Structure 1
Amino acid sequence: MTHNAGLTYRFFQEEKRTYELAGVSDGMDLTGITLEENLQRLASVPLLYEPGKMWRYSIATDVLGAVIEKVTGMPLSEAVRMLVTHPLSMMDTDFKAVDTDRLTTAYADSAGEPRRLRDFDTVPFVEGTAGFLLSPNRFTDKTAYPSGGAGMIGSAEDFLKLLEALRQGGNPILPEALDTKMTTNQIGNLVMPYWPGRGFGLGFTLLKDPAAANNTGSAGNLADGRHLWSLMVC
């Protein structure tokens, strides 16, 4: 949950590196494989660093999704529904679109000009990396495996319900002590590439130094580089 497990994402690596050669999916494309098959591919390549020694945003959240399946004895979608979305009445949120007629058109910002995403698309991330492999139809394809890190879709109203529950201490989905731990920096002074001035809790980017982050928020806010209340969760 702190993204220092020795893993990364394929889109963070250069082209033709270990994840691409092993066929690892970041959970945003359509691959025709299962979650278990994807993690077998991930397990076939070496760790990138000693766990706990570095921070790298990573596919570890997909690994956690598989752990949840083992612990609960049910598919990840059912576990998330039972533990999170139904207690919060987040009826628009799932690993598949609840109502395809309400889906917005997916766009990419390509060279400063927005364009519609193609069915199987590649979008640059930062110079020198392979970039994102994306498929807008993933959320309507019932065969797509549930990606804990990138695989859910929902409405803004649902997302606000989650944020509000966490802001008020986690009830009814978490005890307050765990909610506090989730929103407290857990990585010490480990450097977060691309996100200066930030720390990381259990699934959340935290603003540590607003000046270094070029962010107008206050220290302690949950934030990515652009938005005060952005989450990096499934």
Structure 2
Amino acid sequence: MRDLLTLTFGFGLVFTPCPIQGAMLELGIVGDGTANWPTVTQDEWMRRLGTLPLMYQPGDRWQYHVGSDVLGVLVSRAAGQPFSAFLAERLFGPLGMVDTGFHVPADKLHRLPTSYAHDPTTGELTVWDKARGGKYSRPPAFEAGGDGLVYTVDDYHAFLRMLLNNGVHHGRRVLSRASVALMCMDHLTPAQKVEKDQFGDHFGRHGGYGFGVAVRTRRRDLASPGQFGWDGGLGTTAYADPAEGLVGIMLTQTAMDSADRPRLHQDFWTVAYQTLGA
């Protein structure tokens, strides 16, 4: 469980061409960069994953993403219900996250923006996923723990505020204080961080990683050590800073596939922290 929660279970996304990357794409273990994923059920996905060897011994290295997908399957099987139902019962309902789920109902699709990405050959901004008829307009074949939730600023804010309040939301305990403390502390050794830190501002700038969130272990800019959160693949950034009592959320719909997105994030956080001294 700890290896899955910290993404150190021995398998994950590979960002350089290699045979196992090709096998992952061919089997549909990960997406191909388009919105056409996932395409199989969670049981079939697990069966296919089980045909591939581990890349490292469990606990050796942090590797992005796939551990979270496995966690979603594990939770579903342990709870005896769909992953979405478990999240709605234990998290979304108690937090009032009424607009969070693995797809957007038809009567709310007008609130979902089209998503964009850059063509890897030309650099031109192109449509990645249309709102109507797209990835999030229908329930997915596989409710993946690492990919697929749709939400609003209000919903994400409720979640991060609950964590800042040590697991309490509007006077009701949602998570134990100990669980929040474990979730939001760095669990990685220097050796485990080698692969993570190779990707600089994408994965390495925080310093640490907890249970599903990046954890800042050093002051490199205006954010305080202990800040936790994540930057999403479609250009979002959302963090909580316990030292400042601050939650910051910026939602965009353009993929994190150019230098512009990290610069926009940096500008957003600089302005947010500058307002604290105003």
Query: Smaller-chain TM-score range?
Result: 0.7 to 0.9
Change (3 A) 1:228 1:58: closer
1:21 Cα offset (Å): 3.3
- Aligned counterparts of 2:140 and 2:218: Cα–Cα separation in 1: 43
2:144 counterpart letter in structure 1:
S
What residue is the counterpart of 1:79 in the other structure? 86
Q: 86, 97, 110: which one pairs with 1:101?
A: 110
Q: Which structure 2 segments of 5+ residues have no match?
A: 241-248, 250-278
Of 166-175 and 215-224, more deviation after overlay is shown by: 215-224
What residue is the counterpart of 2:27 in the other structure? 22
**In the alignment, is residue 229 of structure 1 matched against residue 229 of structure 2?**
no
SS state of the match for residue 117, structure 1? strand
Deviations 1:77-136 (A, max 9, x none): 1001001100000000011114212111111144665332256xxxxxxxxxxxxxxxx8
Q: Indicate conservation of the 8 Å contact 1:92/1:155, yes or no.
A: yes
Q: 21, 27, 32: which one pairs with 2:39?
A: 32
- Aligned counterparts of 1:79 and 1:92: Cα–Cα separation in 2: 16
What residue is the counterpart of 1:137 in the other structure? 134
- Aligned counterparts of 1:97 and 1:186: Cα–Cα separation in 2: 34
SS state of the match for residue 239, structure 2? coil
Task: Within 5 Å, give how 1:85-164 maps onto structure 2.
Answer: 85-98=92-105, 99-110=108-119, 113-118=124-129, 137-164=134-161
Alignment TM-score, normalising by the size of structure 2: 0.68
1:150 Cα offset (Å): 0.8
Deviations 1:140-166 (A, max 9, x none): 123532111111101111000100001
1:18 Cα offset (Å): 2.8
- Aligned counterparts of 1:23 and 1:57: Cα–Cα separation in 2: 16
Q: Which has the larger radius of gyration?
A: 2
Change (3 A) 1:75 1:13: farther
1:37 Cα offset (Å): 0.9
What residue is the counterpart of 1:218 in the other structure? 224
Alignment TM-score, normalising by the size of structure 1: 0.80
Q: Indicate conservation of the 8 Å contact 2:31/2:37, yes or no.
A: no
Change (3 A) 1:218 1:62: same
Task: Within 5 Å, give how 1:158-177 maps onto structure 2.
Answer: 158-171=155-168, 172-177=173-178
Q: Indicate conservation of the 8 Å contact 2:25/2:31, yes or no.
A: no
Change (3 A) 1:40 1:139: same
Task: Within 5 Å, give how 1:48-59 maps onto structure 2.
Answer: 48-59=55-66
Change (3 A) 1:204 1:31: closer
What residue is the counterpart of 2:13 in the other structure? 9
**In the alignment, is residue 208 of structure 1 matched against residue 212 of structure 2?**
no
Q: Which structure 1 segments of 5+ residues have no match?
A: 120-135
- Aligned counterparts of 1:161 and 1:8: Cα–Cα separation in 2: 30
Q: Indicate conservation of the 8 Å contact 1:26/1:150, yes or no.
A: no
Q: Indicate conservation of the 8 Å contact 1:9/1:26, yes or no.
A: no
What residue is the counterpart of 2:265 in the other structure? none
SS state of the match for residue 56, structure 1? coil
- Aligned counterparts of 1:216 and 1:40: Cα–Cα separation in 2: 45
SS state of the match for residue 117, structure 2? strand
Change (3 A) 1:152 1:186: same
Report % sequence identity.
Answer: 24
Flag the structure with more relative contact order, 1 or 2, with Cα contacts below 8 A and sequence separation at least 6. 1
1:223 Cα offset (Å): 4.7
Change (3 A) 1:228 1:81: closer
Q: Indicate conservation of the 8 Å contact 1:209/1:219, yes or no.
A: yes
2:184 counterpart letter in structure 1:
T
2:110 counterpart letter in structure 1:
D
What root-mean-square deviation, in Å, do the aligned CA atoms of Structure 1 and Structure 2 show? Answer: 2.6
1:15 Cα offset (Å): 6.3
Deviations 1:8-35 (A, max 9, x none): 126x352652312333134953353101
